[in-house]
A and B are shown apart, each in its own frame.
Chain A
Amino acid sequence: MNAPPIIDLLGRLEAIVFEADANTLQVTYAAGGALGSLGFSAAECTGDARFLVKRLHPDDREQFLARLHAVADDGKERQLEHRMVSADGHERWFRSEMHFVPAEKQVLGVMIDVTDARRTAESLRTAESRLRQVINNAPVVLFALDSAGLITLSEGSALRKVGMQPGEAVGKDVFAVYPDPAAQAFLRRALAGEETVLQRRQGETWWETHVTPLFDDSGRVTGATGVSIDLTDRARAEEASAHSASLLRASLEATTDGILVVDSKGRMVDFNRRFAEMWNMPPDVLAARDDSRALEVAVGQLRDPDGFFAKVRALYAAPEAISHDVIELRDGRIFERDSRPQLVEGRSVGRVWSFRDVTVERRATRRATFLAAASKILAGPLEDVTPLDVIARMTVPWLCDWCNILILDDDGEVRSAAAYHHDASKIELLRKLQPDMRRHRSVAQVIHTGEPIVDNDIGADRLSGSLDNALPSVSTDEQLAILHALGMRARMAVPLHARGQIIGAMIFASSDPERHYDHDDLTLAADLAQRAALAIDNQRLYQSSKDAVAQRDEFLSVASHELRTPVTSLQLAVQSALALGRDAPPGFLHHALETAERQTRRLGRLVDALLDVTRVQAGRLELERAPTELGAIVREVVALLAADARRAGCEVHVDADGSVAGRWDRARIDQVVTNLLSNALKYGAGAAVHITVDKTEATARLVVRDQGIGVAASERGRIFERFERAVSAKHYGGLGLGLYIVRRIVDAHGGSVTVESTPGAGAQFIVELPLQ
């Protein structure tokens, strides 16, 4: 059967055309492609009186049937969108238009499948709603303008930051909304066709606005769209970051430590000025951040480069390790080195090295320790020079390569009391170093003036070659050769002071051309010298007190002998007289009495001499001046000592013709003459003694000359001291007081006494007394 063309067309439409009885609603006709989509045939529909009721979605069924009834009742067409259920249970949406056909009492319906259209509309709605949600929640402002500057769109949650609601500004003039001249200029540029970006601050908020002009096909600007982004948080973060960076930089520069930051490969990342200063880093190395050259510069200054490298390698092998150690530089500086990893989120990305110059503290500690140790050693035994040897040794090598402690002797020459050289084979050579004390330069100058000297950068040429170019303290080629062998590129010479006297000097010398003695070194050297001088002085005082005790013991022994001799003689005379009694030969008793009388006088003189010493010692030598004739005194003394002279076998010749008179203490001058004559008889070896008295214009002169053993040159100063004698007490008796008393009496008169002698050929003592 050939279907009419309209039916064929219906079959191709995604629709259903149906006729239903207006009263029963039984479908009397149904056709259309949508039937197939639902899984039915036209025959099924028309054959089933309840087809519509069954295939309508239960939720829409009542409404559909009500509309259909209404159309049948009043004949007015109606529309409805509803769902149908397909044969396999799916639902599809249809829009049904229902018309009444009065002639046939039928309702004609056309159901068009709108499922896909509805889905599209639904998804568009969903998309739009989501977009709006996005726009409304975006932390931005989206806007659009027409070519005149009227706002056609104003959305975005960021609007609230400026107190506006989305859409609120629509229809307003953008130039009225933003009166700020910078903003207006910016907007005008955009509306003139320029794509522009502006950052500006509004209230507490920073905005970045991008505006894109819109053009029509002819290239005319039809408006613009724009987006403003709130940059406040980013700006704050950047500001905070800049702040902490500047804080970090300021802290880096404020610290007294040198700081270097390197990455995990050891490349320089950052450093502070102090680091550059401490390591004397050349500016080009720093500018280039050239880590290999920086390392070269640093290592070149180290005492122990190998140890330094070992530590660096060990730390790079252990990225998490923290280390703290001390490094020494060749110029004497000492750094504490601290190294710790730079951690980012717990991961090591590099290493921070810090260097602290602790030279001053370390040196001070070392100095204090050194001086304490030195003091302890110097307080040790005084009997020998061992403590000074230890001190000299202690200074090597950290203060010098060699040290020499020089002591000034009585002749004005110096000798080495202790010497040490780091090369032990050179110590003996060092002891032979003898500064020329006549030159008043160098070491001699230190000893003469008490001012220390420091010499750095002593050229190697000054230790060899000609004497003219040599150091000023060197006066012979031999000394120059010694100095050359010892080595000396820097030195300090400090005086040894004791009780206001300079007793020597300490020399500290280094053969290292890089050694520079500074103020701290000199202070240490001076402190050490002070302690050494004190120890040396103590040793001398100890020795002199020991000598004094020995001298006193010897004096007591001599005094005892001197007293025993006359007492023995006296006792012998008395005891022999008593023993013999009447049996004594003729003249024996008389002789014994004479002896006794003489010995009594001798004892008296001894006692007087001892008392004189006490008086002179206590400064109580009082003179009773009266006109006194010197020649007369001499003659009297000679007469009194005639017996002694005879026993000594000495003839005494007096030459005192003219009158030599002055205001002197007669008894004391008598004592002077007596002592000098007694001495001449005692040491005169039995030869003639000559006494001369004469005067010059203002001075009286007494000369007592013998031809005996004489006085050695070295003894001439000493014999006028208390308890001294030029000869052994085992040979010659006497208290050793005679010349001492002579000198004190002559001194008290304002005169002088001297001795001239040729040992073995005699001595002459010359006393000069002022006449007035």
Chain B
Amino acid sequence: MGGSVMVVEDDEDIRADLVAILRVKGFQVSEANNGKDAIAQLRDGARPCLLVLDLMMPVMNGWELRAAMLADAALAAIPVVVVSGKGRITSDEEQTLAPAAVLVKPFELAELLELVGRYCPPREAASAGR
């Protein structure tokens, strides 16, 4: 809670890679393979410091998840990094999704790590701070 990054991505390879590298980099990570899975965790009380969100997913896609989060006062403030698989998103989409940042696949790992670092202090750093 509080310090975890939630990776919402249906492609198992990408999700596994992201989870692995973020954990190695010292972040607490949770994962969901579609929007429905993610919203269930959020409604269960999960409050990630950052949500890394793929858009094109089965069952419940990224747009639907984002709409559900924004409609829920408890979840609307959670920062979201949108990872777009279809190239750059339009300004209309940007307005709808209200992301903290947008990454276009294939994105630079360093860029993602920088964003995650900005919103989520690493475990070691957090503990060191205490």
A residues apposed to B, CB below 8 Å: 557-558, 560-561, 564-573, 575-576, 579-580, 583-585, 588, 591-592, 595, 598-599, 647, 728-733
Contact = CB atoms under 8 A, between A and B. Distances in A.
Interface stretch (B43-51, B74-82, B105-113, B122-130): B105-113
B20 A591 contact: yes
B92 interface: no
Interface residues of B, number: 29
Given A730-B63, A731-B59, A733-B56, A557 B86 contact: yes
B12 interface: yes
Contacts of B106: 564, 567-568, 570-572
A613 to B, nearest CB: 20
A522 B71 CA distance: 63
A575 B59 contact: no
A566 B57 CA distance: 15
B24 interface: yes
B126 to A, nearest CB: 20
B38 to A, nearest CB: 14
Contacts, number: 87
B85 A564 contact: yes
Contacts of B16: 595
B14 interface: yes
A576 B86 contact: no
A576 B13 contact: no
Given A591-B20, A592-B17, 16 more contacts: A561-B85, A565-B85, A569-B11, A569-B13, A569-B17, A571-B107, A572-B14, A576-B17, A595-B16, A595-B17, A729-B56, A730-B55, A730-B63, A731-B58, A731-B61, A733-B10
Interface of B: 10-14, 16-18, 20-21, 24, 55-59, 61, 63, 85-87, 104-110, 113
A355 B21 CA distance: 101
Contacts of B18: 572
18 contacts: A557-B86, A560-B85, A564-B87, A567-B105, A568-B14, A568-B105, A569-B14, A571-B109, A572-B106, A576-B109, A580-B21, A595-B17, A730-B61, A731-B57, A731-B58, A732-B58, A733-B11, A733-B56
A585 B57 CA distance: 30
Contacts of B17: 569, 572-573, 576, 592, 595
Contacts of A571: 106-107, 109
B10 to A, nearest CB: 8
With a 10 A CB-CB cut-off, give which of B12, B56, B104, B109 has the most chain A CB atoms.
Answer: B56
A557 B87 contact: yes
Contacts of A591: 20
Nearest to B85: A561
A575 B109 contact: yes
A579 B109 contact: yes
A729 B57 CA distance: 9
A565 B21 contact: no
A170 to B, nearest CB: 136
